[in-house]
């Protein structure tokens, strides 16, 4: 069951027992306010004028495979995660439409942080290679524009946190889970994870090791993903030193590709012949280091400085070329927060600076005939650099104990440079070296009103800024090298109103409405002459509108129901493609209606046993800007059962899960504006898994 409503209740001043526990007469206690780091100034949630949600460890990894963020964020309204079941491309993640039309691989349009270290590069591209969800303690999700806080590509924030603290002694835990699909029973998957927590002098830390071996229902969809994650935290005088060291090694991540409608009906488990011929997929190794020094003062001030670096080696056979990419990225973040009273009004001022730099050594090779063997001849050979500098300031002024006004301002300077190395230069192959400079001033203003101890209402307005990534700038329809000179950054003006609270200590709820007026929206598309590649262009303008609802109710002791419902009305306002005037047409790729309902029961009579039923629904949606092709609506139900207890001095938690228990055949994700009609990425049918988590009894 979700714990974020209980955290919200504690924020309001009263703690309520978790409905999973049978005790019906607990004493009421007052807990300290909860702060969220995703707002960058660690404001209490009651003073935050944004839609923010906390996702706890149970929601992230409780009796789940822990493959991807779709499992962890399914209970957050306004967040749409389309699972491709393709570990070569990652999942399509969008928050209120941010990055919706361009996330052909990786994450676009939103900022991803892991223990405060950016997983989003300065060009706006996010990678989750280092992430093992099984090691996450909680996730903070900030929905809506946050460019004034985080700069480029921050239409939302997903901040993932581990917990390096130790119980005071060596503590080891093991988690093993394995399963198989019903339709292709010979294709199974398994994941194991070990976590060791320890004390080291006055500090503590943990080491997490995991491996996922995956053979999906579809042909050519196997993966071998390995992660090593280490954390260490130690006091240094009045400061706290935190370190992060992660290595992700994925020697195999096949790309089964998307299907046409005819292929989907004939055999939804198939892969296109060209993907098999080229052995499409990736082999990637990524390492990241980060060090943070943090100091808090008695008056509520804080100073933090972070330095981080990343290396990535990617061998990426695509259907159109064999891509060999070497990347180095590094940067620093410095923030200072101080209480600065304005007369008799309490006031917190935060100032900071983000600096990031990225260097990509990119070579695209041709193939030897109709084989997967890399040729020595090159399509592209260039060195790309991206530098981002972003100073910012944020002010939080308490007009009264119940009313807080927050404003922020940030300037982003992003420079792209490319050195063309595809020599010799000729008339047919000119020197495409060059540079692009993209900059913007972003601002935000919001007010939060604690109308009562149990209700907070808020409103905000803010602007956002999003550049194309280096990959998007490099993929030119004219096949030239260098950067696309016509592709422009995307801008948006965002408005939001919302409320959150609790009712009688048994129900928590949240509601938000928003509108984003977007100009030069970045859109991916395909061309018939190169059907396997993705290219990018700008739409004139679009409007994103939405309603987000969420609630959780404790029906009786040990039984709770949680649900979310999202309405997304995203439409073009000024956009023409060829002879098509798309004014008023819905944007492709996202359902207008999406909902989730979950029942969790852990009655006292079960003595540690529990059951959870989750149903998700999505309406159909367009898959192309100009055509009437759309997906069909779907709903799918998952069942999870487990037991938690102790035996023989060990903590035990066996569990079993059935995904898509009614075997609904639906499309899990799509390739928007795909050429040759290859839109569809099917979801698996019914599948079964079993698992066991164990550790030393406490």
Q: What is the DSSP code (8-state) at residue 626?
A: S
Backbone angles phi, psi at 540, to 5 degrees: -60, -60
Q: Where does 115-176 have alpha helices with state H?
A: 147-150
The boundaries of the domain holding residue 355 are 4-198+207-218+227-696
The confidence band for 165, taking pLDDT boundaries of 50, 70 and 90, is: confident
Residue 79's pLDDT is: 93
Percent pLDDT > 70 in the chain is: 93
Residue 406's pLDDT is: 94
Measured at the alpha carbon of residue 454, what is the angle toward residues 448 and 457, in degrees to the nearest 5? 25
Q: What is the DSSP code (8-state) at residue 47?
A: G
Q: Is the pLDDT of residue 101 over 80?
A: no
Give the CATH number for residue 177. 2.40.170.20
State the average pLDDT for the chain: 89
Q: Is the pLDDT of residue 440 over 50?
A: yes
User: Is 384 exposed, middle or buried (CB count within 10 Å of its CB: 0-12, 13-18, 19+)?
Assistant: buried
Residue 531's pLDDT is: 60
**Residue in 565, 657, 658, 570 with CA at minimum distance from that of residue 616:** 565
pLDDT tens-digit series, residues 19-55: 344 444 444 433 344 556 665 666 778 888 999 999 9
**Reduced 3-state DSSP string for 343-366:** CCEEEEEEEEEEEEEEEEEEEEEE
pLDDT tens-digit series, residues 489-520: 999 999 999 999 988 889 999 999 999 999 99
pLDDT tens-digit series, residues 515-569: 999 999 988 887 776 666 778 888 889 999 999 999 999 999 999 999 999 999 9
pLDDT tens-digit series, residues 580-614: 999 999 999 999 999 999 999 999 888 999 999 99
Q: Is the pLDDT of residue 451 over 90?
A: no
Find where tokens 């046993």 sit. 609
More confident site: 153 or 25: 153
pLDDT tens-digit series, residues 337-396: 999 999 999 999 999 999 999 999 999 999 999 999 999 999 999 999 999 999 999 999
The beta strands (E) that lie in 520-659 are given as 522-527, 530-538, 541-556, 559-574, 576-577, 580-581, 593-601, 609-618, 634-643, 645-647, 650-659
| Sequence-separated contacts (24+) of 422-431 with Cβ below 8 Å | 422/378, 422/380, 422/381, 422/382, 422/481, 430/480
The confidence band for 318, taking pLDDT boundaries of 50, 70 and 90, is: very high
Contact status, residue 303 vs residue 336, Cβ threshold 8 Å: yes
Contact status, residue 321 vs residue 379, Cβ threshold 8 Å: yes
The confidence band for 12, taking pLDDT boundaries of 50, 70 and 90, is: very low
The confidence band for 161, taking pLDDT boundaries of 50, 70 and 90, is: very high
Residue 108's pLDDT is: 86
CB-facing half-sphere around the CA of 634: CA atoms within 13 A: 20
Residue 264 token pair: 């989907």
**DSSP string covering 423-442:** PSP-SSS----EEEEEEEEE
The confidence band for 686, taking pLDDT boundaries of 50, 70 and 90, is: very high
Least confident of 20-24, 173-177, 610-614, 653-657: 20-24
Which residues, at least 6 apart from 185, have a Cβ–Cβ distance to it below 8 Å?
none
Residue 35's pLDDT is: 56
Measured at the alpha carbon of residue 199, what is the angle toward residues 193 and 201, in degrees to the nearest 5? 150
Q: Is the pLDDT of residue 234 over 90?
A: yes
Q: Is the pLDDT of residue 231 over 70?
A: yes
Least confident of 332-336, 452-456, 618-622: 452-456
Question: How many domains is the chain built from?
Answer: 1
Contact status, residue 656 vs residue 641, Cβ threshold 8 Å: yes
């Amino acid at each position: 069951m979700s714990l974020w409503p209980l955290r919200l209740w504690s924020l309001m001043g009263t703690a309520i027992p978790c409905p999973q526990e049978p005790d019906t007469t607990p004493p009421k206690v007052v807990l300290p306010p909860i702060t969220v780091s995703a707002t960058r100034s660690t404001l209490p949630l009651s003073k935050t004028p944004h839609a923010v949600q906390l996702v706890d460890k149970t929601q992230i990894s409780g009796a789940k495979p822990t493959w991807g963020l779709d499992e962890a964020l399914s209970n957050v309204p306004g967040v749409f995660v389309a699972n491709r079941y393709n570990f070569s491309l990652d999942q399509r993640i969008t928050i209120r439409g941010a990055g919706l039309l361009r996330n052909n691989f990786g994450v676009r349009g939103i900022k991803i942080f892991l223990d405060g270290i950016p997983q989003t590069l300065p060009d706006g591209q996010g990678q989750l290679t280092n992430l093992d969800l099984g090691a996450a303690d909680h996730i903070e999700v900030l929905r809506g524009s946050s460019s004034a806080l985080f700069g480029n590509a921050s239409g939302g924030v997903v901040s993932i946190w581990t917990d390096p603290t130790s119980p005071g002694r060596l503590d080891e835990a093991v988690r093993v889970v394995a399963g198989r699909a019903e339709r292709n029973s010979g294709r199974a998957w398994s994941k194991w994870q070990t976590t060791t927590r320890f004390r080291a002098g006055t500090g503590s830390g943990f080491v997490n090791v995991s491996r996922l071996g995956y053979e999906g229902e579809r042909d050519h969809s196997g993966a071998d993903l390995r992660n090593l994650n280490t954390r260490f935290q130690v006091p240094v005088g009045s400061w706290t030193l935190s370190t992060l060291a992660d290595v992700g090694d994925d020697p195999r991540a096949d790309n089964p590709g998307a299907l046409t409608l005819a292929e989907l009906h004939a055999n939804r488990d198939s892969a296109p012949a060209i993907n098999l011929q080229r052995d499409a997929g990736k082999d990637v190794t990524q390492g990241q280091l980060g060090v943070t020094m943090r100091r808090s003062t008695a008056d509520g001030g804080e100073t933090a400085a972070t330095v981080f670096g990343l290396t990535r080696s990617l061998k990426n056979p695509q259907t159109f070329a064999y891509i060999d990419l070497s990347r180095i990225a590094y940067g620093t973040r410095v923030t200072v927060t101080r209480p600065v009273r304005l007369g008799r009004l309490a006031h917190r001022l935060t100032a900071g600076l983000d600096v990031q730099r990225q260097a990509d050594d990119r070579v695209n090779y041709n193939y030897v005939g109709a084989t997967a063997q890399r040729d020595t001849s090159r399509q592209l050979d260039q060195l790309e650099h991206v530098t981002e500098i972003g100073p910012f300031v944020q002010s939080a002024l308490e007009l009264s104990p119940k009313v807080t006004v927050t404003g922020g301002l940030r300037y982003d300077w992003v420079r792209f440079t490319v050195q063309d190395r595809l020599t010799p230069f000729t008339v047919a192959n000119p020197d495409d070296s060059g540079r692009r400079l993209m900059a913007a001033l972003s601002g935000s203003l919001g007010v939060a009103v604690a109308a009562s101890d149990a209700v907070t209402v808020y409103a905000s307005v803010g602007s956002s800024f999003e550049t194309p990534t280096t990959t998007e700038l490099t993929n030119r329809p004219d096949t030239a090298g260098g950067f696309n000179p016509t592709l422009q950054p995307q801008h948006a003006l965002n408005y939001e109103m919302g409320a959150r609270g609790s009712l009688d200590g048994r129900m928590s709820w949240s509601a938000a409405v928003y509108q984003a007026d977007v100009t030069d929206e970045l859109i991916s598309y395909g061309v018939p002459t190169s059907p396997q590649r993705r290219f990018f262009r700008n739409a004139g303008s679009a409007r994103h509108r939405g309603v987000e609802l969420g609630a959780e109710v404790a029906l009786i002791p040990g039984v709770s129901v949680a649900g979310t419902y999202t309405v997304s009305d995203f439409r073009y306002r000024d956009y023409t493609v060829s002879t098509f005037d798309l004014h008023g047409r819905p944007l492709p790729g996202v359902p207008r209606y999406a909902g989730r309902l979950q029942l969790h029961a852990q009655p006292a009579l079960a003595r540690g046993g529990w059951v959870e039923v989750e149903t998700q629904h999505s309406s159909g949606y367009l898959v192309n800007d100009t055509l009437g092709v759309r997906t069909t609506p779907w709903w799918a139900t998952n069942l999870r059962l487990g037991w938690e207890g102790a035996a023989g001095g060990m903590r035990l938690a066996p569990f079993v899960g059935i995904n898509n228990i009614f075997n609904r055949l639906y499309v899990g994700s799509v390739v928007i504006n795909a050429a040759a009609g290859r839109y569809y990425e099917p979801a698996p049918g019914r599948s079964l898994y079993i698992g066991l988590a164990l550790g030393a009894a406490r």
